[in-house]
Amino acid sequence: MMPQSGYVTKQGKSILECLEKNADRHLTAEDIYALLKEKGSSVSVPTIYRQLEKLTTGGVVRKYTLSPDEPACYQFASDREECVHHFHLKCVSCNKLLHVSCAYLENLEEHIDEHHGFKVDNTRTVLYGLCAECRKARGDDVNVTGECGRHDHEHGGHSHG
């Protein structure tokens, strides 16, 4: 998938390919810089930001702003339904970011629209709390059924082993 303008620089193509190869993750501009540098590409961070804005405007990439204190994250705009529509849960202890596709949350989103006339933008909706691993580490009894779709993306946090 290429931007609508048709003209793509070599650097823009490298950035887009990086995002496509990591379509299951949210990446910051710094993450993209590090991944491209590992591959021997010398794209500057300001160039990455400019290209990301173009790709976002063109609908090729989604931009997620989790908080004013953190850099925006970007994700390749796949047509897969689970990538288009999901919510974010952010652990305030380890900074793990969870992507959640859940019928209950979708029903909540529909309820808010139908009964309150407010359209939720789930690309900007983040629920903050403690993840199951951090709750277990502090001694809480945690019983997760695992019935909803979920995949983890650890951004800026540490992994529980």
HEC string of the chain? CCCCCCCCCHHHHHHHHHHHHCCCCCECHHHHHHHHHHCCCCCCHHHHHHHHHHHHHCCCEEEECCCCCCCCEEEECCCCHHHHCCEEEEECCCCEEEEEECHHHHHHHHHHHHHHCCCCCCCCCEEEECCHHHHHHCCCCCCCCCCCEEEEEECCCCCCC
Cα(92)–Cα(76) distance, rounded to whole angstroms?
Answer: 26
The one-letter amino acid at 160: H
- List, for residues 73-82, the tens digit of each pLDDT value: 888 876 644 4
Task: Tell me the Cα Rg of the chain.
Answer: 17
**Residue that wins the pLDDT comparison between 80 and 148:** 148
Mark whether 46 and 90 lie in a shared domain: no
Task: Tell me the pLDDT band of 158, cut-offs 50, 70 and 90.
Answer: very low
Mean pLDDT over residues 51-65, rounded?
A: 88
* Of the candidate ranges 6-10, 29-33, 112-116, 132-136, the one whose mean pLDDT is the lowest: 6-10
Mean pLDDT over residues 83-112, rounded?
A: 80
Mark whether 65 and 95 lie in a shared domain: no
58 found inside a domain? yes
14 and 36 in contact (C-beta within 8 Å)? yes
Number of domains the chain is built from:
2
Domain end: 49, 76, 103, which one? Answer: 76
Mark whether 144 and 117 lie in a shared domain: yes
- How many residues are there in the chain? 161
Domain assignment of residue 54, given as a range? 10-76
Is a pLDDT exceeding 90 seen at residue 34? Answer: yes
Mark whether 53 and 71 lie in a shared domain: yes
5 found inside a domain? no
Cα(31)–Cα(39) distance, rounded to whole angstroms?
Answer: 13
Domain end: 76, 101, 126, which one? Answer: 76
The overall average pLDDT reported for the chain is: 80
71 found inside a domain? yes
Mark whether 61 and 38 lie in a shared domain: yes
Which residues are CB-neighbours of 65 under 8 A, at least 6 positions away? 72, 73, 124
**What pLDDT is stored for residue 136 in this prediction?**
93
Cα(135)–Cα(161) distance, rounded to whole angstroms?
Answer: 14
47 found inside a domain? yes
Domain end: 76, 93, 121, which one? Answer: 76
Q: How far apart are the first and last CA of the chain?
A: 36
- List, for residues 111-146, the tens digit of each pLDDT value: 999 999 999 877 667 788 999 999 999 999 888 776
1 found inside a domain? no
Mean pLDDT over residues 13-32, rounded?
A: 90
Q: Which of 22, 16, 18, 55 has the alpha carbon at shortest distance from 37?
A: 18
**Residue that wins the pLDDT comparison between 2 and 145:** 145
